[in-house]
Amino acid sequence: LQTRLQAGQGYGNTLNCVLTVYRNESVAGFFKGMSFPLASIAVYSSVVFGVFSNTQRLLSQLRHGDPSRTPVLADVALASMVAGFISVGIGTPVDLVKIRLQMQTQPYIKANIELKPTVPGFPVYRGPIHCFRTVLQKEGIAGIYRGVGAMLLRDVPGYCLYFIPYTFFCGWITPDGCISPNPSSIWLAGGVAGAISWGTATPMDVVKSRLQADGVYLNKYKGTLDCILQSYQNEGLKVFFRGITVNAVRGFPMSSAMFLGYELSLKAMKRDQTETNP
C-alpha cells in the first residue's frame, strides 16, 4: 500500500488503495515483492542493531574508558547516524527490487510518450532474482543503487528519530530501581519510536519510492532534487505526505517486535555468557 500510494497513480486515500488492489489483483496483490525483503530482513536488522550497539560501546570506551557505561544522548545520536548510513548499503537494492516488483503492473498513463518495448500493466520482471539481474545488466551498479541519495536523507535522520525516542521512552517507562526494562516497556517504547521515525521519514520515503519505481517503463526523474521539484510542481506539498498513515501504523508493531527481539536476544546471550563463565 505504501508504495502504491507514494509512487502510483489514481489510488486516492488508503482505503481506496486497499479496495483497488484487492479488486484488480486479489489478495496476492498485497504480497507482491515480499520474498526479497523477507529473505534479507535478518541480515539487515542484524547489521543495523549490531552497528548501533557496537558504535555506542566504542564511543563509551573512548569517552569514559568503559564500554558498558550508559551512553549520553550525543553518543546515541552519532551511533544512530552511523547505523543509518551503513544500512543504506544493504537496504537500497532490496527496496529497489521490492518496489519494481510492486509497481510493474501499475499502468503508466501519459500521452505521446514512447515507452520501452514492454507494455504498461503487464509484468516486466518474473521475480526478485530476475528483477535484480535485469536491472544490473541494463543499468549497472548505479541502477541497483538508484534512490540511494534519497534513502540516505531518509535513514540517517530517520534512525536518530528511531533509537533516540526508544532510549528516552524506555528509560521513562521503566520503573525506578529496575536494572533493565521489562518486555512490556520495550514493546511500547519500540512501537512509539517506530511510529515517530516512519511518520517523520515519509517525505523522503515518497521521493525514494518514486525514484526507485521510475525506470520500469521510462525514466522520468534525473535525481533526488529533480524528483522533489517535479513532484512539488505537479502535485503540491501534500504529495510528500502520501502514505504517512500507513507508515506510522506499520511502524508501531514492526518496531515493537524488532526492539523486543533485540533486547531479549541480548539478555539471553548475556545470561549464557554468565553461566558459561561464572
pLDDT given for residue 32 in this prediction? 74
> Do 124 and 38 reside in the same domain of the chain?
yes
> Do 141 and 72 reside in the same domain of the chain?
yes
Compute the distance between CA of residue 18 and CA of residue 15 in angstroms, rounded to an integer: 5
pLDDT given for residue 110 in this prediction? 44
Number of other residues whose CB lies within 10 A of the CB of residue 182: 12
User: Where a domain ends, among 91, 118, 145?
Assistant: 145
User: Where a domain ends, among 145, 168, 200?
Assistant: 145
- Ranges of residues in the chain with a pLDDT under 50 are 108-121
Assigned domain for 230 exists = yes
Residue of 83, 23, 18, 93 whose CA lies nearest to 53: 83
pLDDT given for residue 122 in this prediction? 54
Assigned domain for 17 exists = no
Residue pair 129/172 in contact by the 8 Å Cβ criterion? no
Query: Residue 271, exposed/middle/buried by CB under 10 A (0-12, 13-18, 19+)?
Result: exposed
> Do 67 and 121 reside in the same domain of the chain?
yes
> Do 172 and 188 reside in the same domain of the chain?
yes
pLDDT given for residue 105 in this prediction? 63
Task: Convert the pLDDT of each residue in 104-149 to its tens digit.
Answer: 765 544 433 444 444 444 567 788 888 899 999 988 999 999 999 9
> Do 209 and 257 reside in the same domain of the chain?
yes
- Nearest-5° angle of CA 187, CA 38, CA 269? 50
Domain count, the chain: 2
DSSP 8-state class, residue 30: G
Instruction: Answer yes or no: pTM beyond 0.85.
Output: no
Compute the distance between CA of residue 106 and CA of residue 189 in angstroms, rounded to an integer: 37
pLDDT given for residue 178 in this prediction? 64
pLDDT given for residue 55 in this prediction? 94
> Do 157 and 137 reside in the same domain of the chain?
no
pLDDT given for residue 272 in this prediction? 62
At 232, which CATH number? 1.50.40.10
Residue of 5, 239, 8, 1 whose CA lies nearest to 107: 8
Query: Residue 197, exposed/middle/buried by CB under 10 A (0-12, 13-18, 19+)?
Result: buried
Domain that holds residue 82: 33-145
> Do 53 and 40 reside in the same domain of the chain?
yes
> Do 152 and 256 reside in the same domain of the chain?
yes
> Do 111 and 166 reside in the same domain of the chain?
no
Query: Residue 139, exposed/middle/buried by CB under 10 A (0-12, 13-18, 19+)?
Result: middle
Residue in the block written with cell 507508515: 247
